[in-house]
Structure 1
């Protein structure tokens, strides 16, 4: 029997999902949490096999909560299920070590497919997410762009110069130049124009 914990502050959504999972053969819903504190409590007592985790919870982000859940249930597989479709959140979730990642716009069948695969020890990402993570990793050094580097890129694509970017982000112009050097290295480019072109072609803007 696969023990499932659902963590989502929208109770109607979580309860409806729990009702569907309870009807599946071989699955048991051991708890529904609406906060990070409740998620920790259920993980401690129920030792779930799979945790379906909303990324944004009151007072918590999944990236902060996942290490605690891993500590309490080392064998648990964690799937982020979120309405946040931004690249930054996707990359934070993957860096936190999630076993699956889905947005809530996906069909129910996709959610159940992810649950089945993750419970079986596989990792679950959609083809689109795989493509996005490859794009975010760049073709230069292979390192992923940070959230601040993505912010700099977006402002750069709007035609803003280094000082204007610095003013908007409340950082120094020297710091902006350092970010640009890192962006060039990670994307394998040599100019601002090339950086914007490469970022646009990879779906980062």
Structure 2
């Protein structure tokens, strides 16, 4: 039977999928390009043909997780037209659902940070800071409107994102989801209410 020749785009996607799976299982130091090639059923040369440097592979992994086919941020697209509390709900829902549906990328970021690899650094400098800056600007806007207390907006943004990321880590990496099963919408509503309870300005 003749094998169908796959396109360069399809081969790229295959290499990224296999690399993500192996990296999330064995870490970056414990995974070689030879292993990736064997699992993908290709040669190491083919990997280097598609990704000449490891940074290119790391960037492709981030693109797969965070971007649409046009290279635009999936989260930023969802935030278009959102205001007030809906911004917080959209961010929290997107992150929790994404981690719940496939925790692989969350594990990759953990491995990368612990092992001193570049993937987490690349992610933080790109999509991570993009989300943090967007949320900080939104919080600043709510402060200027008198809706929120006068606080350091970037720190407040980190506090909110910290709640969400920590929840996902406990659920998906530490395995708390075996004992704690609550619908995503309810979790999001509670987190957003807690944050707003502490942030909303109290007018006499």
Give the structure-2-normalised TM-score.
0.30
TM-score of the pair, normalised by structure 1: 0.30
More strand by share: 1
Question: Higher helix proportion, which one?
Answer: 2
Q: Quick one: higher RCO (CA 8 Å, sep 6+), 1 or 2?
A: 2
